[in-house]
Every structure is written in structure tokens, then in C-alpha cells.
Amino acid sequence: MEEKDIVFKTNQSCFIYRVAAIIIKDNRLLMAKHEDYPCYYTVGGKVRINETSEEAVVREAYEETGIEFEIDRLSFIQERFFEIAGEHHHEIVFYFLMKENTNIDLHCRNFTDQGSKESLHWLPIESLNKTYIIPEFFKTKLLGSIVGIEHIVTKE
């Protein structure tokens, strides 16, 4: 049986349940970039039916990097409201801080589902405020220590 992503669509709206990995090494954040989009975004993706958010973030991080990361802890829960081409989106995203992995070497690894159009980039955390990234709250929230679980609501 094919696994289905947790996405619900109506005529004018879409609900998505996602997970994202916060992967930090040497004060740099691992982000993805698609050549057709102006922003950098997190490693992650949609949660599947009958899959926990923890299972999903480990799977997505592996699919996109080829490295098996372990979860440190849940850090942020975001309710994100935005619009694309007239369609309203409501996303719930669980952001997991991943344990540091000394074997990370991701110079030219491409994502499995996007091919050569998508690539991984290490962005210095102190320079995130000068970079177009999603989620925007990373620009300030990752500068200090990440403590507890923070709930963030954004309407874009």
C-alpha cells in the first residue's frame, strides 16, 4: 500500500502537516535551495498517514541528505498561514533539532525528489538576517540557545 502524505485540499484551501530538521554544525545551518525559488528552506517534508512526526523527520532528513540523523528534541511548532496563486494554505510544522553528526559531508548531495534543481547549503547562523529564508523566525530564534518548545503562529 502506498503511503499518503497528510494533505487535505478544498476548492480554495490546503492543509499540510510537515516536519523539518534543524541541522547545525560549526554555527552553520543546513538549508535547501531550489533554483526556481528565491528562498532557502528547511530540510524536511510532509508527514505520512500512520507515521509519527519523529519518524517523518528522520526519514525526510535521510532522503534529502543520505545521512541518518538522530533527534535531539522538538524545538518549535509553527502554525503557518500563507497564500500561493490564490490558494490559502494552513500548515502545521514540527521543527526538530537534530543531534550533531560529525560525519556530515554534504558538498554536492542533491535531493531525491527534485534532482539537480535542488541543492543543500550551509548558511552561517549570524548572517541569516541578510538571507531570504523560510521560516523567517530562524533569523532571530537560532542566534541564542534553543530552550524548551516554542509555539509560533505566522500569517504571511
Collapsing DSSP to helix, strand or coil, 53 comes out as: helix
**pLDDT band at 101; cut points 50, 70, 90:** confident
Domain ranges of the chain: 7-155
pLDDT(118) > 90: no
The CATH homologous superfamily for domain 7-155 is Nucleoside Triphosphate Pyrophosphohydrolase (3.90.79.10)
Backbone angles phi, psi at 112, to 5 degrees: -70, -35
pLDDT(125) > 80: yes
Backbone angles phi, psi at 35, to 5 degrees: -65, -20
Predicted structure pTM score: 0.90
CB of 55 within 8 A of CB of 12?
no
pLDDT(68) > 60: yes
The alpha carbon of residue 104 and the mean position of all alpha carbons in its chain are separated, in whole angstroms, by 17
pLDDT(89) > 60: yes
**pLDDT band at 97; cut points 50, 70, 90:** very high
